[in-house]
């Protein structure tokens, strides 16, 4: 059986905490979970934030070791160019695809040299015109994340992205909420369908809730891409660990999504499936005799009942049997066949 496969991106992000060996352990987990891509983040702190920019609230908890400003935190979480090449080689050995999100123009330039399958616009860059314009010029498919944005901003971003070497068929828009973790009351998963219908564009979901049920629900609603943060341990210090899946949860999410893909596959026509045909004879009923009847006697409701197995006349033919005569002597407990009737 074939079915449309959801692209599952395991977001390692900065959960390596600046340690290349930890990054490789995250790759091991992603490969063992059978995701399609393991994704990191490409940036130089000085290119994306001022030295005095405050941390977001979610970045403060359990992050005292990462400095007091965004700049100090991000500086500790950078991956060097050499780290990228080392991680790509390691992904190749583990038979999983490497992916990364750039947060500045120089990062995009660097990633464009790595021959990745596509580019990802993180939610924070959806209003960054020079950044969007640069991606548009690179001519590769794009995933657009939409946290903190409204429908007008999404529309504007799509217009910029499709202004040069891209068309809308090259863009997948991810519904997203940029809070870590996202409260269930703010998920608004129906917005994914709204985006799909309004822009006639492919959609997916980037999840920051706790647990795995929302990404699974998104697949059932038509998401073609799922992105989810994961970590070695949610209790580690760092900005994203607390809203990430642990290894066993990531594996369960992938397994569940693959099951949902199979479950929503099909024509949409209600018909008897191949697997259930064998059960019809045992689970359905047919018309049986409730008491003995002699040849020539007329069938009444007192003679008939419905019992399993389904080896005789369909009970929906009940009224066609009533009033007919028995073709021979028949005995209680036996099913009734058409040749028993005249």
Percent of the chain with pLDDT over 70: 96
Q: What percentage of the chain reaches a pLDDT higher than 90?
A: 89
Instruction: Report strand pairing: 171-176 vs 7-13.
Output: unpaired
Q: Which tens digits make up the pLDDT trace of 127-141?
A: 999 999 999 999 999
In a domain, 270, yes or no: no
* pLDDT recorded at residue 52: 84
* Residue 226 sits in the same domain as residue 326: no
What was the pLDDT predicted at 275?
Answer: 95
Residues 22 and 89 both lie in one domain: yes
State whether 194 and 313 are in the same domain: no
Q: What is the DSSP string of 4-39?
A: PPPEEEEEEETTTTT-HHHHHHHHHHHHHTT-SEEE
Q: 95: exposed, middle or buried (C-beta count within 10 Å: 0-12, 13-18, 19+)?
A: exposed
Query: Looking at the structure, do residues 237 and 335 belong to the same domain, yes or no?
Result: no
Of the candidates 202, 103, 207, 99, the one whose C-alpha atom is nearest the C-alpha of residue 147 is 207
Mean local confidence (pLDDT), 151-168: 95
Domain tally, the chain: 2
Q: What is the CATH number of the domain that holds 325?
A: 3.90.1210.10
pLDDT confidence bin for 56, thresholds 50/70/90: confident
Q: Are 201 and 173 in contact (CB under 8 A)?
A: yes
Q: Is 268 inside any structural domain? A: no
* Residue 84, pLDDT above cutoff 70: yes
Residue 94 pLDDT level (bands cut at 50, 70, 90) = very high
Domain identity same for 119 and 146: yes
Q: pTM of this prediction?
A: 0.89
| Judgement on whether residues 98 and 226 belong to the same structural domain of the protein | yes
Backbone phi, psi, residue 155, to 5°: -60, -45
Reply yes or no on whether the pLDDT at 73 is more than 60.
yes
Q: Using CB atoms within 10 A of its CB, is residue 192 exposed (0-12), middle (13-18) or buried (19+)?
A: buried
Domain that holds residue 78: 7-263
Considering the domain architecture, whether residues 309 and 172 belong to the same structural domain is answered as no
Model confidence band, residue 1 (pLDDT cutoffs 50, 70, 90): very low
pLDDT band at 57, cuts 50/70/90?
A: confident
The average pLDDT across 283-308 equals 98
pLDDT at residue 55 greater than cutoff 90: no
Question: Does residue 298 carry a pLDDT above 90?
Answer: yes
Whether residue 304 sits in one domain with residue 214: no
């Amino acid at each position: 059986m074939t079915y449309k496969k959801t692209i599952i991106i395991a977001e390692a992000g900065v959960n390596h905490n600046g340690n290349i060996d930890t990054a490789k352990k995250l790759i091991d987990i992603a490969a063992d979970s059978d995701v399609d891509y393991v994704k990191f983040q490409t940036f130089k702190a000085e290119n994306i934030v001022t030295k005095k920019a405050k941390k977001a609230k979610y970045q403060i908890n359990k992050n005292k070791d990462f400095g007091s400003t965004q700049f100090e935190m991000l500086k500790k979480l950078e991956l060097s160019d050499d780290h990228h090449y080392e991680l790509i080689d390691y992904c190749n050995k583990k038979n999983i695809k490497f992916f990364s999100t750039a947060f500045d123009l120089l990062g995009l330039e660097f990633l464009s040299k790595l021959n990745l399958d596509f580019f990802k616009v993180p939610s924070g860059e959806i209003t960054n015109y020079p950044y969007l314009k640069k991606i548009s010029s690179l001519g590769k498919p794009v995933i657009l994340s939409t946290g903190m944005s409204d429908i007008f901003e999404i529309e504007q971003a799509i217009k910029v992205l499709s202004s040069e070497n891209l068309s809308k068929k090259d863009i997948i828009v991810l519904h997203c909420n940029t809070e870590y973790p996202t409260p269930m009351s703010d998920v608004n998963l129906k917005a994914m369908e709204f985006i799909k219908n309004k822009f006639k564009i492919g959609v997916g979901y980037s999840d920051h809730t706790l647990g795995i049920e929302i990404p699974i629900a998104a697949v059932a609603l038509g998401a073609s891409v799922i992105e989810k943060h994961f970590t070695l341990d949610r209790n580690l210090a760092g900005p994203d660990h607390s809203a990430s899946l642990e290894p066993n949860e990531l594996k369960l999410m992938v397994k569940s999504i693959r099951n949902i893909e199979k479950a929503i596959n099909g024509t949409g026509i209600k018909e008897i499936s191949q697997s259930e045909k064998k059960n019809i004879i045992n689970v359905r009923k047919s018309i049986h005799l409730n008491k003995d009847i002699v040849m020539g006697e007329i069938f009444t409701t007192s003679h008939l009942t419905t019992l399993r197995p389904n080896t005789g006349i369909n009970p929906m033919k009940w009224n066609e049997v009533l009033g007919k005569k028995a073709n021979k002597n028949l005995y209680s407990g036996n099913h009734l066949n058409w040749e028993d009737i005249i």
